[in-house]
């Protein structure tokens, strides 16, 4: 099981229903507003890099949590821009609680976590992750505006 909560336990019909919920969440008014906010927050980062598997890791957190990198994940860029306290968000935090904190649907929170952490099967640097995730965000905004 991953931070996104995705697993291989779903059958085809459940997976199709779930994917439809993800698509609706991303394409809906609230989802589109969040994606635009996330794009602006990502672009405002002083260092164009994203970390995987953690929300927001400060240098003082490295000793406690043990991640390799300091920084933020894609969703946490919005938290920084909003000035949210994210100190209680850990890798094991259920996507439901992440969604509730950020005001988005749970399938959308899980999908963004998946895209941030696992969508690229090969190793990548935080800078490469930033470019890949930013391109995905832009594609989600553009594709839903066309329809």
Q: What is the DSSP string of 54-98?
A: -SEE-GGGHHHH--S--EE-HHHHHHHHHT---TT--TTS-HHHH
Question: Does the pLDDT at position 131 exceed 90?
Answer: yes
- The pLDDT score that the predictor gives to residue 144 is 46
Q: Let me know: does 70 contact 58? Beta carbons within 8 Å.
A: yes
Q: What is the pTM of this model?
A: 0.83
Residue 90 pLDDT: 85
Ramachandran class of 61: left when φ > 0, alpha when ψ lies in -120 to 50, beta otherwise: alpha
Above 50 in pLDDT, residue 1? no
Within 10 angstroms of residue 33's Cβ, the number of other Cβ atoms is 12
pLDDT (average), residues 39-60: 90
Largest CA-CA distance found in the chain, in angstroms, rounded = 47
């Amino acid at each position: 099981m991953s931070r996104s909560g995705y697993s291989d336990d779903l059958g085809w019909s459940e997976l199709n229903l779930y994917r439809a919920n993800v698509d609706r969440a991303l394409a809906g008014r609230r989802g589109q507003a969040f994606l635009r906010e996330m794009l602006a927050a990502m672009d405002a980062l002083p260092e164009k890099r994203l970390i995987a598997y953690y929300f927001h890791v400060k240098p003082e957190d490295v000793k406690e949590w043990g991640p390799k990198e300091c920084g933020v994940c894609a969703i946490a860029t919005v938290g920084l821009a909003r000035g949210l306290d994210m100190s209680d968000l850990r890798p094991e935090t259920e996507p439901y609680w992440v969604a509730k904190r950020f005001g988005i649907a749970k399938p959308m929170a899980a999908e963004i976590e998946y895209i941030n952490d696992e969508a690229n099967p090969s190793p990548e640097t935080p800078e490469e992750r930033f470019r890949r995730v930013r391109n995905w965000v832009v594609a989600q905004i553009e594709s839903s505006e066309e329809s």
